[in-house]
Amino acid sequence: MNEVAPHTLNPKIGRAPGWQGIVADWSSDQRAFKNVSWGKAMMWIFLLSDTFIFGTFLISYMTVRMSTTVPWPNPSEVFALEIAGHHLPLILIAIMTFVLISSSGTMAMAVNFGYRRDRRKTAILMLLTAVLGATFVGMQAFEWTKLISEGVRPWGNPWGAEQFGSSFFMITGFHGTHVTIGVIFLIIVARKVWRGDFDDGRRGFFTSRKGHYEIVEITGLYWHFVDLVWVFIFALFYLW
Amino acid sequence: MADVTHDAAGPLSAAEVDDVELYHPKSWITKYVFSQDAKVIAIQYSIVALAIGLVALVLSWLMRLQLGFPGTFSFIDPDRYYQFITMHGMIMVIYLLTALFLGGFGNYLIPLMLGARDMVFPYVNMLSFWIYFLAVLVLVAGFFLPGGPTGAGWTLYPPQAILANTPGQQWGILVMLVSLILFIIGFTMGGLNYVVTVLQGRARGMTLMRMPLTIWGIFTATVMALLAFPALFVGAVMMLLDKLVGTSFFMPAIIAMGERLAHKGGSPILFQHLFWFFGHPEVYIVALPAFGIVSDLISTHARKNIFGYRMMVWALVAIGALSFVVWAHHMYVSGMHPAFGFFFATTTLIIAIPTAIKVYNWVLTLWRGDIHLTVPMLFALGFIVTFVNGGLTGLFLGNVVVDVPLSDTMFVVAHFHMVMGVAPILVIFGAIYHWYPKVTGRMLGDVLGKLHFWVTFLGAYLIFFPMHYIGLMGVPRRYHEISGMAFVPPSAATLNEFITIVALIVGAAQLAFLFNLVWSVRHGRPAGGNPWRATTLEWQTPQTPPAHGNWGKDLPVVYRWAYDYSVPGAAEDFLPQNQPPTPQPA
């Protein structure tokens, strides 16, 4: 990245106190966010927009849950598993959450090694993140299969309000799609890291531009976001 | 504005940004069809938007024919009438106005006015247009599928939107929802580009508070769209599931045609909340670019700096923020909790403050200006009048007690057509007359332009002013026929006939405009680089029309704000933004 110094065409910049100073800084020359690349800015703003999508999904789910007159199925029981004779409520969801949160850890390490230009470790950690993500999606597929075999459908279920099934499939499906897209993107970027595209300046897929190791961080932003959204889904759908 | 006009600094070299690696088209296809150049994408957006807008125009003719001469045109049965209403509304609001202001003017003006070479991610920008084009094709497909397009009204309220016996319930509603989802995906790709270009891609010296108000308007509207469209996206996905999979998000238990439907327990009000959480910001997504453009048109053609630039910017941002907390004023009669009405009426009326600031500032910009009554200026002045008019009836409808008797009458139709139909479209016309010379290098015909303005402006008043009275008589909207209602006096029918005749004439005048657009590409008067003697950067390009990359070798450097008109002591009555200050005698 070319670092553009916040130069002082306008002598007021950096001098005004309080809010005026903040506004002057932020609205100053060329870039609102100094040293933030176009790609990173775009990902942040996309995530803001995507936050509104997930937020609206969750608020809609809470609205239908509150407005239905039929009892809501108890998630602890619905998502319980019998393992080795023990009845464990929410066990699968707990494991899924653990896997996904761990993948955020490996992702953060990948970003770190990316900036150190350690191609091997970066690529391995990204692939590990992708594997953890794929495991998460796999367990979600198992959960879907289990619920479907127990008779849960988008239009009804054996235990109560039919909005339970509709919200469940819609929200976890939408989140699962996000994770899947993330896994695909991780694999693509990991391959480019492994091949050394960001060292020899090879033109990239999608933008016909030379890439930077920063793309690892941008992929990471998306990945952490998807994890964060899961925390909210976990709290609002499974724990409520 | 001393701190944003002149700075004591000598000429500076342009700061190139590393990221800029222009994509250079290698063939005719990549240059004109799958182009990554924002200017070409802008023209593509504009042509598609105007083309689909013509469809909406014809639909409005058909509706008016039915309302003016009920029973004369037997092919306009109630089902078709509802389909025309729905498609007219949806096309005008989303596929014409949103796409043209943001996709068309946004793509053309953002890089040029900010001194950038292109949008930050040209490839994504190209995808944005093609997905929009696909959305339009899917929308149009509704006309040819069995059952025709949906007739649910542009608000698509459930449960009737997906019930049997609503026209277009087999295929129309599906393609409508899919088209909306595609539009939102395509728009998001473009919108991210516009926002990041404004925030991170400006030329040296172009601080945010030196940006032309056009860019401020488009920028604020794009941010709003990125936050408002998600609600529509979610609503569309959920309704699609209700329709296709049989979920009951929006569908309560219903008995239709004597049969109990499988749905139960959903909340139709939820959809209304989702729809209007998108729908109200959408009004301002359309209005804010118009506000911005009109500020620039007035300043340029009155040869005077815009009055209160800072307040104009803050008013745009304030309107944008407030518009997210007023949505339920569309739902006073929906059966939501009455206490909400108090809150939403209050926030709604507060919006009048920043809006009034803008109107005062426009008028004060005109005050003692050197007003040139060019065609763009006529349209800008027409906008101020229609917007004030529509805004005042908005104050009626924002109050719960006044709204309840007026809601669902033709008064509402007249109000929103005045404020978000006629007003923004007058700006679109003005903007096309203003920037056409930059896009093509030739002026649009003046005589035809003035004729177009007067017929459109006076015609719009003759159409929508009487409609307020029809509404006050209690004539309901969305009715195929109103004859036989005791409370409607016969004069309403006469007024309706009159409105229809004017609507046909105004529609025909738009054909003259289209002719002007096409004819002037080859036969217009050559414009030169800066026919309006304007200050903003897009008029200072080395070539007209601007070449690929916009600026030749060096990017422009900006030394002043966008409104240095009639500066005392200056040689010309305008100082371009990239003109260095004359060295001050020490």
At a CB cut-off of 8 Å and minimum separation 6, what does B412 contact? B397, B406, B471, B477
Q: Across residues A52-77, what is the average pLDDT?
A: 93
Higher per-residue pLDDT: A156 or B193: B193
**pLDDT at residue B12 greater than cutoff 80:** no
Q: How far is CA A33 from the centre of its chain?
A: 23
The CB density around residue B396, as the number of other CB atoms within 10 Å, is: 14
Residue with the bigger pLDDT between B239 and B582: it is: B239
Confidence class for position A141, pLDDT limits 50, 70, 90: very high
Tell me if B390 sits within 8 A of B423, measured CB to CB: yes
CB-nearest partner of A41 from B3, B199, B238 = B199
Transcribe A50-65 into DSSP letters. HHHHHHHHHHHHHHHH
Evaluate if residue B4 carries a pLDDT over 60: no
Contact indicator for B185, B251 with CB cutoff of 8 Å: no
Mean pLDDT of all residues in chain A? 88
Q: Which pLDDT score is estimated for B462?
A: 97
From chain B, pick out residues whose CB is under 8 angstroms from the CB of A163. Answer: 247-249, 265-266
Give which of A2, A20, A60 to mutate to test B binding, by max B Cβ within 10 Å: A60
Check if the beta carbon of residue A60 is closer than 8 Å to that of residue B274. Answer: yes
Instruction: Give tens-digit pLDDT for B60-116.
Output: 999 999 999 998 999 999 999 999 999 999 999 999 999 999 999 999 999 999 999
User: Pick from A66, A44, A72: which is nearest to A157 by CA?
Assistant: A72
Q: Mutation test of the interface with chain B: which of A162, A171, A172, A203, choosing the one with the most B Cβ atoms within 10 A?
A: A162
Contact criterion met (CB below 8 Å) for B538 and B113: yes
Residue contact A60–B18, C-beta within 8 A: no
Nearest to B199 among A2, A33, A64 (CB): A33
B266/A155 Cβ within 8 A: no
Beta bridge partners of B574: B565
Per the CB < 8 Å rule, is B193 touching A42?
A: yes
Please judge whether B270 and A67 are an interchain contact, meaning their C-beta atoms are less than 8 angstroms apart.
Answer: yes
Q: A interface mutation test: which of B199, B237, B274 has the most A CBs within 10 A?
A: B199
Distance of CA A196 to the CA centre of its chain: 26
Q: Can you tell me the distance from the alpha carbon of B129 to that of B187, in angstroms, rounded to the nearest whole number?
A: 8
pLDDT tops 50 at residue B361 = yes
Minimal Cα distance from A211: which residue of B? Answer: B19
User: Using CB atoms and an 8 Å cut-off, which of residues 272-331 of chain B contact chain A?
Assistant: 273-274, 277
With 90 as the cut, is the pLDDT of residue A217 above it?
A: yes
Could you tell me what percent of chain B has a pLDDT over 70?
95
Question: Which among B124, B203, B265 has the least Cβ separation from residue A68?
Answer: B265
Chain A residues within 8 A of B274 when measuring between CB atoms: 56, 60
Distance, in Å, from the CA atom of B123 to the CA atom of A39, rounded to the nearest integer, reads 13
Put simply, the answer to whether B23 touches A208 (Cβ < 8 Å) is: yes
> Kind and range of the H or E element at B460?
helix B446-472
Terminal C-alpha separation, chain B: 22
Which tokens is B473 given? 């008589």
Check whether B369 has a pLDDT greater than 90.
yes
Mean pLDDT on A125-147 = 96
Does the bond joining B580 to the residue before it have cis omega, within 30 degrees of 0?
A: no
* Residue B526 backbone dihedrals phi, psi, to 5 degrees: -55, 135
Q: Report residue B339's pLDDT band, with 50, 70 and 90 as the boundaries.
A: confident
Reported as a single tens digit per residue, the pLDDT across B125-165 is: 999 999 999 999 999 999 999 999 999 999 999 999 999 88
The answer to whether the peptide bond before residue B576 is cis (omega within 30 degrees of 0) is: no
Residues B197-221 pLDDT 10s:
999 999 999 999 999 999 999 999 9
The Cα B114–Cα B38 span in angstroms is 13
H-only helix segments in B208-337: 213-244, 268-301, 309-322
Rounded-to-integer distance, Cα B469 and Cα B495, Å: 9
Q: With 60 as the cut, is the pLDDT of residue B444 above it?
A: yes
| Interchain CB contact of A232 with B (< 8 Å) | no
B196·A45 Cβ contact <8 A: yes
Q: In angstroms, rounded to a whole number, what is the distance separating the alpha carbons of residues A42 and A49? A: 11
Alpha carbon distance A223, A106 (integer Å): 11
- Paired with B557 in beta bridges are B204
pLDDT the model gives residue A87: 87
Task: List chain A residues with CB under 8 Å of B24.
Answer: none
Pull the structure tokens for residue B347: 């926030």
Has this prediction a pTM greater than 0.90?
Answer: yes
Name the residue with tokens 């993107």. A185
Q: Is B245–A1 a contact, with Cβ atoms under 8 angstroms apart?
A: no
What domains appear along chain A, each with residue ranges and CATH number? 37-239 (1.20.120.80)
Q: Which residues of A touch B18 (CB under 8 A)?
A: 1-2
Contact A170/B at CB under 8 A: yes
**pLDDT at res. A209:** 66
Q: Do B267 and A64 touch (CB under 8 A)?
A: yes
Q: Does B195 touch chain A (CB under 8 A)?
A: yes
Give the integer Cα–Cα distance in Å for B250 and B579: 59
Q: Is B121's CB within 8 Å of A162's CB?
A: no
Q: Is residue B586 pLDDT above 80, yes or no? A: no
Q: Which residues contact residue B269 at a Cβ distance below 8 angstroms, ignoring those fewer than 6 apart?
A: B331, B334, B335, B336
CA dihedral B331, B336, B340, B345 (to 10 degrees): 20
Q: Is the ipTM of this complex over 0.90?
A: yes
Output B155 or A85, whichever has higher pLDDT.
B155
- CB-CB contact of B227 with B324 (8 Å): yes
Are A207 and B201 inside 8 Å of each other by CB?
no
Indicate the burial class of B342 (C-beta count within 10 angstroms; 0-12, 13-18, 19 or more). Answer: exposed
Give the Cα separation of B434 and B443 in Å (integer).
Answer: 9
- How high is the mean pLDDT of chain B? 92
For chain B, counts of helices (H) and of strands (E): 18, 2
Dihedrals phi, psi of A81, to nearest 5 degrees: -125, 150
> What is the rounded CA–CA span in Å between residue A106 and residue A193?
16
| Residue B245, C-beta contacts closer than 8 angstroms, at least 6 positions apart | A154, A155, A166
More confident residue, A14 or A199: A199
Is the CB of B249 less than 8 angstroms away from the CB of A208? Answer: no
The full length of chain A comes to 240
Q: What is the pLDDT of residue B584?
A: 64
Could you tell me if A36 lies within 8 Å of chain B, comparing CB atoms? Answer: yes
Nearest by CB: B207 against A4, A10, A39: A10
Contact B19 A2 (CB under 8 A): yes
List phi, psi (to 5°) of B554: -105, 140
What local confidence, expressed as pLDDT, does residue B414 receive? 97
> In this complex, which of A2, A12, A154 lies closest to B247 when CB atoms are compared?
A154
Q: How many CB atoms lie within 10 A of CB A145?
A: 10
Evaluate whether B383 touches B287 at the Cβ level (below 8 Å): no
Q: What is the pLDDT of residue A3?
A: 38
Instruction: Name the minimum distance, in Å, from the CA of A53 to any CA of chain B.
Output: 5
In DSSP notation, B340-355 reads HHHHHHHHHHHTHHHH
Model pLDDT, residue A18? 82
Contacts of A53 in chain B (CB under 8 A): 230, 233-234
Q: How many residues does chain B have?
A: 586
**Phi, psi for B74 (deg, rounded to 5):** -70, -20
Strand segments (E) across B370-451: none
Give the number of beta-carbon pairs within 8 Å between A and B. Answer: 152
Rounded to whole angstroms, the Cα distance separating B269 from B381 reads 40
Looking at the complex, report in whole angstroms how far the Cα of residue B321 sits from the nearest Cα belonging to chain A. Answer: 15
- pLDDT of B16: 47
Residue with tokens 């393609």: B175
Distance CA B201, CA B515 (A): 37
Q: Cβ–Cβ contacts within 10 Å for residue B334, how many?
A: 15
Contact A163 B4 (CB under 8 A): no
Residue B139: alpha-carbon gap to chain centroid: 19
Q: Do B12 and A9 touch (CB under 8 A)?
A: yes
**Chain A residues lying within 8 Å of B264, measured CB to CB:** 162
pLDDT tens digits, one per residue of B283-323: 999 999 999 999 999 999 999 999 999 999 999 999 999 99
- DSSP SS3 for A210: strand
Percent of chain B with pLDDT over 90: 83
Q: How far B6 CA sits from the closest chain A CA (Å)?
A: 9
CA B566, B569, B570, B574: dihedral to nearest 10 degrees? 0
Which is nearest to B190 in space by CA: B29, B49, B17, B15?
A: B49
The alpha-helical segments, DSSP class H, found in chain A are 18-26, 38-67, 75-78, 91-115, 119-149, 163-195, 197-200, 214-233
